[in-house]
Chain A
């Protein structure tokens, strides 16, 4: 499966600032999900956005999806030091639960 692209690969911001991460993909998708992974740990599911949705919110998280550009973005507002982690997008095609992961963005939030 073709891996998605994410940018930036690494992002360092001050606490309180917003962090934006982008994900691009190459195939038609059924849905796109964002996950967080702390170093050496498992993945935590953050949010799922379906192909017919354009924007979704969950707490300080805002996800957008532009299927015409085959891209998605994750915005974390008012970042906290505890948000420091790697963030991955993952998407599945129509009729499949199989996920293809992006390369990830490593976010560092400096207190």
Chain B
């Protein structure tokens, strides 16, 4: 099946710093990718829809200036958590779907810990 990778898998950073997370579709092109956030023992919550070549669409309550999304190519979307705080510590997961299919393929996730 389609493969989506994320990098890094785990990152620890200090409060106030910014962290970039990459999401790549390895064997297919994705005009749309999705970013989710998952708190411990909770479900996934959609943060934003990343659109190649245009601005991301953010869900209600998600600060677009804090969570910067760039989708510069058909195989790469990046999520930058700016001025990170401990409450941003979470599991961030991206997904993408090959064109014309409904199935979404998920990356392995990035565990962010802000100290």
A residues lining the B interface (CB < 8 Å) = 1, 3, 30-31, 33, 35, 40-45, 48, 50, 88, 90, 92, 97-104
Contact = CB atoms under 8 A, between A and B. Distances in A.
Contacts of B32: 97
Contacts of A41: 108-109
Contacts of B34: 97-99
Contacts of A33: 102-104
Minimum-distance CB pairs A-B, first 6: A42-B108, A43-B106, A101-B44, A101-B43, A31-B102, A42-B109
A43 B36 CA distance: 11
Contact of B43 (A31, A48, A92, A103): A103
Contact of B106 (A31, A35, A98): A35
- Residue of A42, A99, A100 with most chain B CB atoms under a 10 A cut-off: A42
Provide the main secondary structure of the chain B interface. strand
A40 B111 contact: yes
A45 B102 contact: no
A101 to B, nearest CB: 5
A96 to B, nearest CB: 9
A88 B49 contact: no
Nearest to A97: B97
A103 B59 CA distance: 18
A63 to B, nearest CB: 14
A78 B20 CA distance: 43
Nearest to B60: A1
B49 to A, nearest CB: 6
Contacts of A90: 44, 104
B43 A102 contact: yes
Interface in B36-77: 36, 42-46, 49, 59
